[in-house]
């Protein structure tokens, strides 16, 4: 019995339900690969993960080239790019990061200030 796949919160389930079986199989594979790569940094770790993946899934082998290509596609365009033919991916709207570095710093300062105010009133 296959493991249940955990889809990300921003996953376009409407596109998935309309996709062909071949596309669904492709997307399911990359959802599982990307989930396994969470927190993984560095090319040596990627190579170790690829060796592990290929030994566990002999029918669904991946390469370092396909891993980098699909990671880049996911970071630029989101999961919608996996349902779009390659020649039209560049026409998709790029995904904007939720916060810039400056906004992230300001948010951290604000949260720290709020915590100190709560502690002072308690």
- Tell me: the pLDDT tens digits for 95-104? 766 667 777 7
Do 46 and 37 contact (CB within 8 A), yes or no? yes
- Tokens 């090319």 correspond to 43
What local confidence, expressed as pLDDT, does residue 98 receive? 65
- Tell me: the pLDDT tens digits for 54-72? 999 999 999 999 999 999 8
Phi, psi of 117 (to 5 degrees): -65, -40
* Claim: this prediction has a pTM higher than 0.75: no
What local confidence, expressed as pLDDT, does residue 25 receive? 93
Q: Is the dihedral of CA 2, 11, 99, 87 positive or negative?
A: positive
Choice among 8-17, 49-58, 98-107 with the minimum mean pLDDT: 98-107
- Tell me: the pLDDT tens digits for 70-79? 998 898 888 9
* Count of CB atoms situated within 10 Å of the CB of 43: 10
Provide mean pLDDT across the span 41-45: 84
In the predicted structure, residue 1 carries a pLDDT above the cut 60: no
């Amino acid at each position: 019995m296959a493991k249940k796949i955990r889809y990300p919160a921003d996953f376009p389930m409407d596109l998935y339900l309309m996709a062909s079986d071949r596309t669904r199989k492709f997307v399911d594979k990359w959802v599982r690969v990307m989930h396994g790569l969470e927190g993984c940094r560095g090319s040596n770790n990627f190579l170790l993960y690829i060796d592990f993946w290929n030994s566990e899934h002999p029918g669904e082998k991946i390469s370092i080239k396909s891993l980098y290509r699909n990671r880049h596609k996911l970071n630029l365009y989101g999961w919608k790019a996996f349902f779009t033919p390659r020649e039209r991916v560049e026409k998709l709207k790029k995904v904007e990061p939720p916060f810039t570095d400056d906004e992230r710093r300001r948010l951290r300062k604000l949260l720290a200030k709020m915590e100190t105010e709560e502690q002072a009133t308690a």
